[in-house]
Amino acid sequence: MKSLSEEFHIDVKTLEHEFIREKNEITENHSIQKLEWNNFIATILEEWKVDKNHDEQKHKALKEAIKNKDFEAMAHMKIKLEGT
């Protein structure tokens, strides 16, 4: 009977070790995947910021061009009106 009890305890210890090994493997894989996803998200956010800044600069340039064009048109109208 003692040998069955010993065999049982050995099996339990083996299962405990396998469980701990698998748990550690899963935890490590999770940490690696989490790091990869965080890096992926950081890259996307950085690209978004660059695109946003580019779009803002483009918008400011277009706004300034329209402002200058309107100012020029008003100056031409003023000259025409003063000439008549």
Tens of pLDDT, residue by residue over 48-62, are 999 999 999 999 999
Query: Model confidence over 6-41: pLDDT tens digits?
Result: 999 999 999 999 999 999 999 999 999 999 999 999
Q: Is the pLDDT of residue 46 over 90?
A: yes
Q: What is the pTM of this model?
A: 0.60
Q: How many CA atoms lie within 13 A of 31 on its CB side?
A: 6
CA of 27: how far to CAs of 30, 41, 58, 75, in Å?
5, 21, 46, 71
The CA-atom distances, in angstroms, between 2 and each of 5, 8, 18, 75 are: 5, 10, 24, 108
pLDDT of amino acid 82: 83
